[in-house]
Amino acid sequence: DIQLTQSPSFLSASVGDRVTITCRASQGISSSLAWYQQKPGKAPELLIYAASTLQSGVPSRFSGSGSGTEFTLTISSLQPEDSATYYCQQFHSFPLTFGGGTKVEI
Amino acid sequence: QITLKESGPTLVKPTQTLTLTCTFSGFSLTTSGLGVGWIRHSPGKALEWLALIYWNDVQRYSPSLKTRLAITKDSSKNQVVLTMTNVDPLDTATYYCARRVWNYDYFDNWGQGTLVTVSS
């Protein structure tokens, strides 16, 4: 199985801050990575797929980069509504796996 | 507009079989390349992928749960059913169904989730 390790597991930041979350894969997964945002009591929402492609309707302050084993999700200017837990998911091979999550507090 | 909604029991006893139904609209599972998956979220844990069924009826399962899971589809009813046998309190979680995007195994639309508690 491909393990995904997210860091940090928790971060606290202020409105307007630039925030970066890292997802490391235990083996190369090319660009087969997606990022999701999950707010308490809600279903996850797709933010980014193929490592760097923004899903339609997602604000442009979100961006993704990376390939192989190291990936990042960046929020360029943190907004109050970005308070959530963020997960990466690899779709390079089965079983599909998710990272442990990063909780972002504002 | 694409929607998915999970339904099923909220409380199940240990060793029983859990059956969850995902009813969706806005797409068809007869469309080549599409699929529906099940993912769960246990309290304090990360998301866990369980199973996936494709338009062509191919099924994929989490190896750790494969012996206990079965996923089926009824394209005429726009439904996907997940069955989990021999449930345990550790299976307590919110269960989500989600649409697999065309030709790639990530999920662009999710249901609201259904909380299942396993307890005697």
- Among B41, B98, B108, beta carbon nearest to A55: B108
What would the DSSP string read from start to end of chain A? ---EEEE-SEEE--TT--EEEEEEESS--TT-EEEEEE-TTS--EEEEETTTEEPTT--TTEEEEEETTEEEEEESS--GGG-EEEEEEE-SSSSPEE---EEEE-
- B113 and chain A: CB distance < 8 Å anywhere? yes
Q: What percent of chain B has pLDDT over 90?
A: 94
Task: Quickly state the pLDDT bin for B43 (edges 50, 70, 90).
Answer: confident
Kindly indicate the confidence band of residue A97, based on its pLDDT and cuts at 50, 70 and 90: very high
Reported confidence tier of residue B6, pLDDT bands at 50, 70, 90: very high
Q: Look at residue B44 in the predicted model and tell me its pLDDT.
A: 84
Set of chain B residues whose Cβ sits within 8 Å of the Cβ of A100 = 46
* Nearest CA-CA partner of B105 in A52, A98, A6: A98
Contact check, Cβ <8 Å, A97/B105 = no
DSSP state of B67: G
Checking if the pLDDT of B103 tops 90, the result is no
Of B46, B101, B108, nearest to A98 by CB-CB distance is: B46
Q: What pLDDT score was predicted for residue A38?
A: 93
**Does B95 contact chain A (CB < 8 Å)?**
no
- The pLDDT of residue A52 is 97
- Which strands form B18-25's sheet, in the order they lie side by side? B3-7, B18-25, B79-84, B69-74
Query: CA B24: distance to chain centroid?
Result: 12
Looking at every residue in chain A, the average pLDDT score rounds to: 96
Q: What is the pLDDT of residues B46-68, one digit of tens each?
A: 899 999 999 999 999 999 999 99
- Size of the A and B interface in Cβ pairs below 8 Å: 60
Residue B102 has pLDDT above 90, yes or no: no
Q: In this complex, is the C-beta atom of A40 within 8 Å of any C-beta atom belonging to chain B?
A: no
Q: How close B98 gets to chain A, by Cα (Å)?
A: 10
Give the chain A residue nearest B111 (alpha carbons). A43
Measured between beta carbons, the chain B residues lying within 8 angstroms of A101 are 46-47
Residue position matching structure tokens 């972002």: A104
Average pLDDT across chain B, whole number: 96
Test A96 with B37 for CB contact under 8 angstroms. yes
pLDDT beyond 90 at B93: yes
